[in-house]
Amino acid sequence: MTGDASALQLVLNGDPALYAIVKLSLLMSLSALLFATLIAVPCGAFLALVRFHGREAVIVILNAMMGVPPVVIGLAIFLLLSHSGPLGAWGLLFTPQAMVIAQTVMVTPIIAALARQTIEDLWMEYREELAAMSVGPSRRIITLIWDARFSLVTALLAGFGRAASEVGAIIIVGGNIEGFTRTMTTAIALETSKGDLPLAIGLGMILISIVILINALAWGARRLGERYAG
């Protein structure tokens, strides 16, 4: 009970350390979402439209990648970025950039797989009309992404959800360094194990609020879009 009260105080008083953590978390998850979207949506559209040898295998692997444990992705990025690793010269290990890379790698398959499904469904619907209008391949892809944009929001939300809630990968590649790579989820993990429950609970409440808020915004945008575009 007292734990709850002091957690609420921390949130309401705008504890600067707490808000720095919140800011870093958001910045990181949104950056990862942005990069992942830029990679995943065109890839999803490509997979939806282009028939090539081994396409089915790629789709199965992509779907499977959605379920890869974050710690495994964290480990892989850690090995890549560590001093003796192939990208060690970049010096990114234990930086926010490393965490963005890990989250991007984690989120890209989710968005790509969901976008592939969404765009392929729309393609089945549009296919003949677009063929009859002799729409070329590149315009086809742009048309489908544009017309599916409100449905794609769901894919982006799923991606954001995973980025915002994940802890295993970023704690490995970020190192949970106070004031530098400490995020909401890594802080919750740490504070809980240290027994500082008020901070952990406060962060947990903020994290849940943010996720709800972003979902509400996306929902509203989607409804608005549907009213306008059908």
Partner 1 sequence: MIMRAPASDLPLLFEGVAVVAGAVTILDDLSLTIGAGAPTVLIGPNGSGKTTLLRAAMGLIPPTSGRVTWGGREHALPDRSAIMFQRPVMLRRSAAGNVRYALAVAGVPRLERRTRANELIATVGLKGLERRPARRLSGGEQQRLSLARALARDPAVLFLDEPTASLDPAATKAIEDLVRAISGRGVKVVMSTHDLGQARRLAGEVVLLHRGRLVEAAPAADFFAHPRTEEGRRFIAGELLV
CA angle 149, 154, 156 (to 5 degrees): 80
CB of 129 to partner 1, least distance (A): 5
Shortest spacing between CB 133 and partner 1, in angstroms: 5
Judged by beta carbon, residue 23 or residue 139, the one nearer partner 1 is 139
We find the least distance from the C-beta atom of residue 208 to partner 1, in angstroms, to be: 33
Judged by CB under 8 A, which of 84, 134, 138, 193 binds partner 1?
Answer: 134
Based on the shown chain and the rule CB under 8 A, indicate whether residue 227 belongs to the binding site for partner 1: yes
Which range in 5-13, 133-141, 182-190, 211-219 contacts partner 1 by CB under 8 A?
133-141
- Token pair of 96 as six digits: 């926010």
Q: Which CB atom, from 15 or from 147, has the smaller least distance to partner 1? A: 147
Is residue 147 at the binding interface for partner 1, with CB under 8 A as the rule? yes
Number of Cβ within 10 Å of residue 104's Cβ equals: 22
Q: Which is nearer to partner 1, 67 or 230 (CB)?
A: 230
The residues, any chain, with a CB within 8 Å of residue 105's CB and separated by 6 or more, are: 73, 76, 77
Residue 15 in 3-state DSSP?
coil
Instruction: Please choose, out of 84-92, 140-148, 181-189, 201-209, the segment that lies near partner 1 by the rule CB under 8 A.
Output: 140-148
Pull the structure tokens for residue 153: 């929001």
- Local structure of 144: helix, strand or coil: helix
Is residue 126 part of the contact set for partner 1 (CB under 8 A)?
yes
Output 135 or 205, the one with its CB closest to partner 1: 135
| Residue tagged 């609420």 (tokens) | 8
For residues 170-192, one letter each, b for 16 or more C-beta atoms within 10 angstroms of the residue's C-beta and e for the rest, the string is: bbbbbbbeeeebbbbbbbbbbbe
How many residues make contact with partner 1 (CB under 8 A)? 19
Whether the Cβ atoms of residue 84 and residue 121 lie closer than 8 Å to each other: no
Binding site for partner 1 (CB under 8 A): 125-126, 128-129, 131-135, 139, 143, 147-148, 150, 226-230
